[in-house]
Amino acid sequence: MTTTVHTNLAALGAVQSFNSVNRGVETVQNRISTGLKASGARDGAATFGIAQQQRAEASSLDAVTTSLNRAISIADVALAAGSSLSDILTQMRQKAVAASDASISDISRAIHNADFIALRDQISGIIANAVFDGQNLLGGPAGTNITFLASTNGSNSLDLPVLDLRLPATPNAVASPAAAMYLGSGTALTTATNSVDAAARVSASLDFLNTELSRLGAASKMFESQKVYFSKLKDSVTAGIGHMVDADLGYESARLQALQTRQQLSVQAMSLANKAPRAILTLLRDI
């Protein structure tokens, strides 16, 4: 090997090795500090690009889950109000049946009527207050729906039915099976005959109410199932991202120790390579 003071090939090789090891140490330290083996496009363009796409998908799944949670909350408020309405109609039916007894006095019937009217007048307030985030499922119009997201691309949706549980101004004709609220907003227990009619209307209204609440409950259950599905789907997407970009910290820690050892050896190699030109000076001192 030629010995020269102008070009020290051994030292240059040692420097290249030292720089390579330093780059490796820097890469491993970045993975340990971030916990990612691909924290940017420089670390792996394809892997990082796919991971970013899946992160966007996970964020979209969050939006869908938020929409489903909102739907569930709206339905829960409506079902709670509907349960209260069912209890009120049950009490109203009891009052109407009691007032239909021809043997009771007018005073007793008036007492039942006062209770009946007080219960009846609560219905509109309960319906008006059954609101969550501006949506009311009990105030009609019947036959309409509120639509919510059920996919990240907007191609699928789920509906909550809007119920019309408002009392009409005048009583409807009683039908079987009931298909509407038959109790009028001004219905009262003034006579035994009126009380019999009112009891039939309350009973038909109660049947309709319970049927409609069952329909709404079934729709709410469907939203619950979809929420569970999207929650599992997001977990799977998140796990997939982790498989692609998460660093194995145990492996990286062991690799860092190995690189640090090589780093020290590279320093020693540069020191040895630099001794060769100095040996020439020793030779020259003997001239």
Closest of 139, 91, 143, 136 to residue 117, by C-alpha: 91
Within this chain, do residues 92 and 227 fall inside the same structural domain, yes or no? Answer: yes
In a domain, 3, yes or no: no
The pLDDT score that the predictor gives to residue 77 is: 98
Tell me, yes or no, whether 76 and 146 share the same domain. Answer: yes
Has residue 22 been placed in a domain?
A: yes
Q: Please give the pLDDT value at position 199.
A: 96
Task: Give the pLDDT of residue 104.
Answer: 96
One domain, residues 89 and 31: no
For the chain, counts of helices (H) and of strands (E): 7, 4
Residue-by-residue DSSP string for 199-268: HHHHHHHHHHHHHHHHHHHHHHHHHHHHHHHHHHHHHHHHHHHHHHHB--HHHHHHHHHHHHHHHHHHHH
pLDDT digits (tens, 9 = 90+) for 163-218: 999 999 988 888 888 889 999 999 999 999 999 999 999 999 999 999 999 999 99
* 206 and 80 share one domain: yes
Residue-level pLDDT at 221: 96
Same domain? 56 vs 116: yes
Q: Is the pTM of this model over 0.75?
A: yes
Q: Do residues 77 and 154 share a domain?
A: yes
Phi and psi, residue 189, nearest 5°: -105, 75
Kindly state whether residues 162 and 188 are assigned to the same domain: yes
Q: What is the pLDDT of residue 32?
A: 85
pLDDT of residue 223: 96
pLDDT for 116: 97
Domain count, the chain: 2
pLDDT of residue 151: 92
Same domain (yes/no): 141, 191: yes
**Residue ranges of the chain with per-residue pLDDT less than 50:** none
Q: Which residues contact 200 (CB under 8 A, 6 or more apart)?
A: 174
Domain with 241, as residue range(s), is 48-245
Task: Judge whether 254 lies within some domain.
Answer: yes
User: Is residue 217 domain-shared with residue 79, that is, in the same domain?
Assistant: yes
| 213 and 159 in a common domain | yes
CA distances from 31 to 21, 40, 242, 263 (A): 15, 11, 13, 18
Domain identity same for 168 and 274: no
CB atoms within 10 A of CB 188: 16
Residues 29 and 165 both lie in one domain: no
